[in-house]
Amino acid sequence: MSFIHPTAIIHPGAVIGEGCEIGPWCQIGPDVVLGRNNILHSNVIIMGLAEIGDANRFFAYAVIGTDPQDLKYKGEQTGLRIGHRNTIREFVTVNRSNQAGELTLVGDDNLLMEYVHVAHNCKLGSGCVIANSVQLAGHIVIGDQVSIGGLTAVHQFVHIGTQAFVGGASAVKKDIAPYTRGMGNPYKTVGLNSVGLLRKGFSSESLAALKQIYKLFYRQGLNVSQALAEASQWPALTPEQQIFVDFVRSSERGLSA
C-alpha cells in the first residue's frame, strides 16, 4: 500500500507502485510509471513519458521528465527512464529526450546533489556521484562509478569514461578517458584516479596495468593515432586496458589534454 498526501496531485492515468510515499504538493503526470517503494518529498514534479524504477528518493522541488530545452523539439512524445535506488536531491532537473525513439537514461544507485541539471538524451550510468550545481548539456554519456565535482559544466556530446574523477568548477569540452582524474577550465587530465580505484577494490596489478596504458597515451609524446597503433602491438591487454583503448578509439570529440 502506498501513502499519498492529500495535497498531492496525481493524474488518474499515472501508475503508482506498491509502497510509495508521495508527500505534500507533489505532481505526477498521466504518462508516469512509478515503481515500488519510491519516496517523493514535498513539491516533487514528475511529468511526461517517464518510467521510474524502485526505491528512488526524490527531494523537494526536483523536476523530472519535463520538455527538453531544445529549439528543435516540436512537442512530440519523448521519454525518460530512471533506474533503481537513486537519490535525487533538491532542485535537480532531468529533461526528457528531444526525439521519439531515444530516451534520457539514468542508471542505478546514483547520487545527484542539489541543482544538478541532466539535459535531454543524456545517458548516465550507475554508481555515479554528481555534486552540487553540475550542468550536463544534451547527449552526454557518462560511464559507471564516475564522480563529478560541484559547479562543473560539461559540453554537449561529451563522453566521460567509467571510474573517472572530474574536479570541481571544471569546464569539460572534450571526452575524458576512463580511470583518469583532472580538473580546470580548460579541463586538464593530471593522472589516474588512483585513490578512487583503490577505494573501489582495484588490485595493485590492475593499477599497474592502467598506469602503463595511461603513460602510453599521456606521457610519451605520442598523438592519439600513434598511441592506438602502439597499443595494438601489445601482446595482450588487460580488461581495464581494453576498456581504455576502446573508449579512445570510439571518441568523436577527442580526448581532453
What pLDDT is recorded for position 45?
99
> In terms of DSSP bridges, do strands 180-183 and 188-192 run parallel, antiparallel, or are they unpaired?
antiparallel
What pLDDT is recorded for position 1?
86
Cα–Cα distance, 239 to 170 (Å, whole number) = 29
User: Between the CA atoms of 97, 103, 119 and 161, what dihedral angle is there, to the nearest 10 degrees?
Assistant: -150
- pLDDT tens, position by position, 244-257: 999 999 999 999 99
Beta strands across the sheet bearing 180-183: 3-4, 21-22, 39-40, 57-58, 87-88, 111-112, 129-130, 147-148, 165-166, 180-183, 188-192
What pLDDT is recorded for position 73?
97
- Find out whether 44 and 56 touch, Cβ atoms under 8 Å: no
Question: Which grid coordinates belong to 61?
Answer: 522541488
Cα–Cα distance, 101 to 99 (Å, whole number) = 6
- The closest alpha carbon to 241, from 220, 219, 212, 221, belongs to 212
Spans of the chain, pLDDT less than 70: none
Name the pTM for this structure.
0.98
- pLDDT tens, position by position, 91-148: 999 999 999 999 999 999 999 999 999 999 999 999 999 999 999 999 999 999 999 9
Cα–Cα distance, 132 to 148 (Å, whole number) = 9
Secondary structure (3-state) at 88: strand
Domains assigned to the chain: 3-139 (2.160.10.10), 197-250 (1.20.1180.10)
Residue 135, C-beta contacts closer than 8 angstroms, at least 6 positions apart: 116, 117, 152, 153, 154
Question: Which grid coordinates belong to 232?
Answer: 595494438
Quick one: which H or E segment has residue 116?
none
What pLDDT is recorded for position 218?
97
